Each structure stands twice: as structure tokens, then as C-alpha cells.
Structure 1
Amino acid sequence: MAGTISRGIKAPIIRQGDDIVKIVADSVLAAATADGFQLQDRDVVCVTEAVVARADGNYASTEDIAADVKTKLGGETIGVVFPILSRNRFAICLRGIAKGAKKVVLMLSYPSDEVGNHLFDMDLLDDSGINPYTDVLTLDAYRNAFGYIKHPFTGVDYVDYYKNLIEEEGAEAEIIFANHPEAIVKFTKNVLCCDIHTRERSKRRILAAGGDKVCTLSEILNESVNGSGFNPSYGLLGSNKATETTVKLFPKNAQEVAEQIQKELIARTGVKVEAMIYGDGAFKDPVGKIWELADPVVGAGYTEGLVGLPNEVKLKYLADNDFADLSGAELEEAIRHRIKAKETDLKGNMVSEGTTPRRLTDLIGSLCDLTSGSGDKGTPIVLVQNYFNNFAN
């Protein structure tokens, strides 16, 4: 009778140099024995990106960041555009950036950052007479309009927090507020675009407005610096604070690890599971307004069976429309038959209206992120079962 099951699986504390593939396989099979379940074909074994990167030792220091920033952006005045407001995600990166510059012009979007962390409430903006689409605010203008406001969840005034971080690393700090990236070129033409999902658009607009040296975070530490970790596709994007002077980067071997996990479990059990390495889930908190996706992608690496979108019919549409005159066993049989006879691509078909048009990796990764959490659950592995089952089978 069970539909989709998302099962958090406990694992040892994983350290640099550990065999992540063996640990995952051992943990899944130990859980199956202890909890009395069996692996089935098309089960999905998911592992959080954090432990994959940790096992691989994919770390970098603020000195490494500073060296790369200085090389690529000149080491004088650097514009830092649209960073998210996060002690975990960006604060240590900012320390490294400031080490590689004499002055940082920090340009924050307002009233919130890209992922929904608010500097202040939208209602204050409505009453301020400020046009967020055009107005560029100095720090004094910002304070006069909105005052000193702390984030409701963290209790931090991120404006002061980021300004102090820059100055602690020996750079001059200037804070401005704007929502169009090209505003930065009036202050400096050497710019680091720190937004995540809109980074290429920001870079293009800054270059078109006269920017000179313009990089995105994905271009910082996209190669090793002095033996540091790196990510060739995402650079500093997806990094997390490790210590006060180091970050753990997004895993560079995620695809390889996902494929090896699948091979290992096939070899041990004969069951063809799918596997994926997942980052932040893609969902929004309706109260805090925070859009969770601070990683560049949800699925960092995944096996071939997870490519694609769901192809589902809407049960309530069938029950209310096509089979409105049926009930009981007759209704259930008619719906089962319709599911079995569904087209291989339902795009544009009314019977699929209201199903979720998102990639399988985004859906399953979001489910796993909610299951494993980000705190002390101790379940960096998630086994998803029955995901590809439906009412007909």
C-alpha cells in the first residue's frame, strides 16, 4: 500500500580521504538489514554534496580566494555585486575577496537578496518613496530610509556585518544598494558578480555598460590555486563555511561518485538502483520568504535513469472529468487503464494539468534535502523508494 518512501540513512562521520562509495553502500545495506527492507530496481540512493566534497578534500582558504581574485580582477578597487546574505554561504568568501583588494564596493540588492533573505520588509519600501528599479542608494541614504534592521531568523544586520568583514581584512569598504547590476560601473569597472542563478545576465549587462574585468563566482577557484580545491564548473558557487578561514567547495567529482555508487550496489546486490548527489532543494518558505536554492544546481551528479521530467496524468482531473459518472471499483479500474495507456509525452495535454513540470533530479533532490535536513539528523544518505510507481502498478 505504500507510495513514495523517503528514508534517511545514518552514516559515520565522514572525513577527508574516506571511501565515500564504500561508506554509502555499507550504510544502505546495513539499514536494509536493520530495518527490514529490500532494495528494488529504480530505487534512488542519494547523498548530500557536503560529504562527497569532504571525502574528496575539496577545500580552499581565504588566501587561495584572495590570490585568484587579485590575479583576475587586479587587486585594486573591486565591485562585489548581488551577494546573498549568509554567514554560511558568503561571509568567508567575502573575507577572501577583501584580502585580494584594496577597496571593495559592495552592491546589495534591496529589499531582499536573490534567495529571499530580506534586508527589510517590503512594506517599508512602499512607504519610502524610493524606486527600487532605478534608485541607487548610498549607505547613508539607506540608513535614513530604513534604519538598522536585523534579519528575523539570524538576528544579524548584514549591512554592518559585511562591512566589518571587509574592513577586518584590511580593505576599504563602500556599501551601495541597487537592483540593476550595471550601476556598479560608476564606482569601478572591475567587478565580481556574486549572484547565483542570474550571474551570466549580470556579467553581460555590466560588460555592456563599460565593465572591464568582470567575473562571476563560478570563475573564481575554477582551477586549483596553490594546491587548493576547486570546481571547474562552479568555482566558489555552492561553497559553504568550513572554518573561519576556509570553505568547502561544491564537489567536483559528483558525477563520478554517483555512477560508482550505482555500480557498487549492482555488484553487491544485483539490483539496479539510481544514484544522485544532491545540494540545496528547490523550494520556498512561505513565511520567511527564503528561496532555498543557494547551490548552483540541485542535482550535482546523477545516473542516467534520473534524466527527464515526470510524465503523469492528474488523478483528480480524470475522476472529475473523464470518469465523472463512475465510482468504486469501476472508477479505479478505468483510471488504472488510463494510466497504463498514457502517451509517452503528455506535454500540452489537459489530463496532465497541475502535475509538476520540473526535472526529476530537482524534485527528488528537494525531497532528499528536506529529509536529511541541514543540522544534526546524521543522515547524509537518503533512500527514495517507489518514486516511479503509480496508481496502476
Structure 2
Amino acid sequence: MTMVDANDFFQHKNIEPIKLDFSPQIDSYYERDVIFANELGNNSFSHPITNVDYRGLYLQMIEEGGARGEVIFTNNPLKIYDLGYIDGVCIGAVHEREKLRELFVSFGAMVPVITIQDIGPEPWGVIGSNVSDFEGGVLKLLPEDADDTAEKIREMIKEETGKSVDVLIFGDGAYKDPDTGIYELADPHPAIGVSSGLKSAGLRSGSKLKLVVDTLYRKGYSKEEIITYLENKEGEKVEENLGTTPRSATSIIGTLADLVAGSADAGTPIVLVRGFKYKQKS
């Protein structure tokens, strides 16, 4: 692509035009599987579980806001350029927002590229927001300083009860329902904020218990000997390098709490977790 200011070009014949080479990004832009609105006809795509036509729902909200909307189906966000000139890009994805911003910028976006984290107060913008007043257009946002809020709650519990606990403010659990395929993680992390004692929580990992037990059993250890080994972790009788899937301890606790709490109308605002063991960050 070659660009030049027409006025400067006619006034100064020796002006050098700006040349932009997008050839490295062409493969990223090319995408056969894209469906535009004019190809849909009267067809609609309703969610198999909720039975909601989300394309229609989004278009309705856009039009009620006084704007014109068009939805395309594609795995390549750069296909929005096929719709013609756009004066800005707002990325609605939560967990891949920076990756997608980088994609647009590297492709040579000449317009502002923002994410929903850039809309609203720091640190999260409108990420993880929920409707508080639909008619009034009011959103309930994530806490501005969730760690500080968690620490204050911890101190209040200590003062009122004398109990030493740690507090975790949880959002959506990182869980995908295998039956419905629904994966709800609209918050930046399952653990939005933690009190001081959980700040040093690291990844939770360990040995594959079933593999260790089976290996010891094949080596001739009795049930009692295996129990003693597991309780005392004595020696290195089993060489086991597979390990378990490492997960953030706070993400596990947050997901556990979210699953137990259920929806807001379940009336479970607080979940008490006891005996959860985890390693400290090294």
C-alpha cells in the first residue's frame, strides 16, 4: 500500500510516498469461513441450551442505543475491514484482549484500538460488569481495589470473632460444563481479590496418587504399607515425573466457591473453605 498527501505531492514533486508492506499479515487476514448478514436470509442461530438468538439480541441492543449494527460470523476479527471504513475498534474479548489488540496494531490499524478494560474506571473498566438497573442503564463493576477490600473484611472478621481467616473475593469459576458446553468466565480471574495471607499462594501441584498407589502395589507393598508411605511420604520408592496439572491455588478456591454458591438467587454470598493445602510461591 502506498500513501501520499495529494497537496504535498503536487507542491513538492520529489516527495517520497509512504509505503506500507502488509504481506506478512496477509495470511492472518485470509479467512474463507465467514458468514455475512446478507448470506443469512431468514436463518438464525439460537443457542442450543438457552435458546437465545444472541445475534438478534446484540443487534437489538445496538439499535436501541441509536446505532446501526451488523454481525458477521468468523474466527478472524480482521474480517471487519470487509465492511468498509471503520473509525475505531473496541475488543470485547476478556482473556485474549491484549493478544487481539496486538493483532490489529500489527496489521496496521490507523484508528484507535481499545478493549473493554479501557472503558470505565481502573483497573478493570467494564470487564466482569453486571447489569444493576436495566432500564436506567446502570452497571455493577468489579471492586476498584479488591485486594484491599478482602483485607478489610479479614480484619473485621478477626475483630468481631477472634478467628484468623483469609478472604478471597471470587468471580466466575473457571469451569466448562461438559454436558452443555457452556464456559462462563467473563471475569478476568476466578479470584478477583485476596487478603494478605493468600498473596503468596502459588500453583497447586503434586503426584498422581493413583499411579503411586498402583506402582507400590505392583512392587508388593501391602495396603498398610502403602497407607504409611502416603501419610509419611517416606523415601523415594516411586519415581513419578508426570505430576498433576498445575493450577493456581486461588483460582481453584475461587472456582470451588463459585460452583458451591450458584446463582445470586441461591442466597449463598459466602463460602467457607477449610483444610485446603497449597504451596507458597518460591
Equivalences for residues 335-350 of structure 1 within 5 A: 335-338=230-233, 350=240
Residues 1:218 and 2:108 aligned together: no
Equivalences for residues 219-298 of structure 1 within 5 A: 219-222=118-121, 232-244=122-134, 245-298=137-190
Shift of residue 283, structure 1, vs aligned partner? 0.9
CA distance in 2, matches of 1:241, 1:384: 29
CA distance in 2, matches of 1:246, 1:334: 57
* Equivalent pair of 1:309/1:360 in contact (CA under 8 Å): yes
Shift of residue 171, structure 1, vs aligned partner? 1.2
Partner of 1:200: 98
Equivalences for residues 1-393 of structure 1 within 5 A: 133-143=31-41, 147-186=43-82, 187=84, 188-211=86-109, 212-222=111-121, 232-244=122-134, 245-306=137-198, 307-324=201-218, 325-338=220-233, 350=240, 353=243, 355-388=244-277
Shift of residue 352, structure 1, vs aligned partner? 5.7
Aligned partner of residue 350 in structure 1, secondary structure: coil
* Equivalent pair of 1:181/1:205 in contact (CA under 8 Å): no
Q: What is the CA deviation profile of residues 246-298 of structure 1, one whole-angstrom value per residue up to 9, with x for unaligned ones?
A: 21111213111111222223334444312100000001011221112111111
CA distance in 2, matches of 1:301, 1:213: 31
Shift of residue 174, structure 1, vs aligned partner? 2.2
* Equivalent pair of 1:139/1:175 in contact (CA under 8 Å): yes
* Equivalent pair of 1:323/1:334 in contact (CA under 8 Å): no
Give the total of aligned pairs. Answer: 239
What is the root-mean-square deviation in Å for CA atoms of aligned residues?
2.3
* Equivalent pair of 2:45/2:55 in contact (CA under 8 Å): no
* Equivalent pair of 1:163/1:173 in contact (CA under 8 Å): yes
* Equivalent pair of 2:205/2:245 in contact (CA under 8 Å): no
Larger Rg: 2
Aligned partner of residue 381 in structure 1, secondary structure: coil
* Equivalent pair of 1:239/1:249 in contact (CA under 8 Å): yes
Amino acid paired to 1:199: R
Identity of aligned residues (%): 37
TM-score, reference length from structure 2: 0.77
- Kindly tell me: are residues 184 and 148 of structure 1, through their superposed partners in 2, closer, same or farther at Cα, counting changes over 3 Å? closer
* Equivalent pair of 2:128/2:186 in contact (CA under 8 Å): yes
CA distance in 1, matches of 2:123, 2:187: 12
* Equivalent pair of 2:63/2:69 in contact (CA under 8 Å): yes
* Equivalent pair of 2:37/2:72 in contact (CA under 8 Å): yes
- Kindly tell me: are residues 336 and 311 of structure 1, through their superposed partners in 2, closer, same or farther at Cα, counting changes over 3 Å? same
Aligned partner of residue 250 in structure 2, secondary structure: helix
Aligned partner of residue 114 in structure 2, secondary structure: strand
Q: List gaps (5 residues or longer) in structure 1.
A: 1-131, 223-231, 343-348
CA distance in 1, matches of 2:215, 2:117: 49
